[in-house]
């Protein structure tokens, strides 16, 4: 941090500060129910993180994607891939919890629905189970 007069500035690479206790304003992607909602939550997350530039996000994410690709992922009409979401969260100095929340939201919308009927547990008939007979105990 540097101090100039009465103002203190943080380095551009520092993570943004969190919210005050009791005021968690970080978007929650797990409430998403349509493919458009996680993308909206991702744009809100980018804003919550201080709207880092696309070039800075590309650099922070190890140049996994070009700055223009990250821009399109945030503002394009198609929901971004999980890899692009991960790069954006990394570029915004996201925590492990942020990564997990956005990945889970993405998976909830992209994995096929689970069946609602439960299959009975697979059991092996007694006659096919290995014998536990110890000839020393019962000759």
pLDDT in tens, 24-60: 889 999 988 887 888 999 999 999 999 999 999 999 9
Paired sense of beta strands 7-9 and 2-4, if any:
antiparallel
Q: How many residues does the chain have?
A: 139
What does the pLDDT read at residue 30? Answer: 93
Which ranges of 15-114 would DSSP assign to H, the alpha helix? 36-48, 54-60, 67-75, 82-91, 96-110
What does the pLDDT read at residue 86? Answer: 97
Query: How far is the C-alpha of 121 from the C-alpha of 23, rounded, in Å?
Result: 45
What does the pLDDT read at residue 77? Answer: 85
What does the pLDDT read at residue 7? Answer: 47
Higher pLDDT, 23 or 13: 23
pLDDT more than 70, % of the chain = 72
What does the pLDDT read at residue 124? Answer: 58
What does the pLDDT read at residue 113? Answer: 80
pLDDT more than 90, % of the chain = 50
Q: How far apart are the first and last CA of the chain?
A: 81
Q: Which residues contact 74 (CB under 8 A, 6 or more apart)?
A: 39, 42, 43, 46, 80, 88
pLDDT of residue 4 exceeding 70, the answer is no
pTM above 0.75, yes or no: no
What does the pLDDT read at residue 114? Answer: 73
């Amino acid at each position: 941090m540097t101090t100039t007069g009465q103002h203190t500035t943080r380095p551009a690479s520092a993570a943004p500060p969190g919210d005050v206790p009791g005021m968690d304003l970080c978007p929650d992607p797990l409430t998403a129910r349509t493919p458009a909602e996680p993308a909206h939550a991702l744009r809100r997350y980018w804003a919550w993180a201080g709207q880092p530039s696309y070039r800075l996000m590309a650099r922070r994410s190890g140049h996994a994607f070009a700055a223009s690709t990250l821009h399109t992922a945030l503002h394009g009409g198609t929901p971004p891939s999980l890899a692009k979401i991960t790069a954006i969260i990394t570029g915004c100095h996201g925590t492990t919890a942020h990564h997990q929340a956005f990945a889970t939201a993405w998976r909830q919308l992209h994995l096929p629905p689970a069946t609602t009927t439960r299959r009975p547990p697979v059991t092996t008939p007694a006659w096919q189970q290995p014998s536990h007979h110890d000839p020393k105990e019962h000759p």
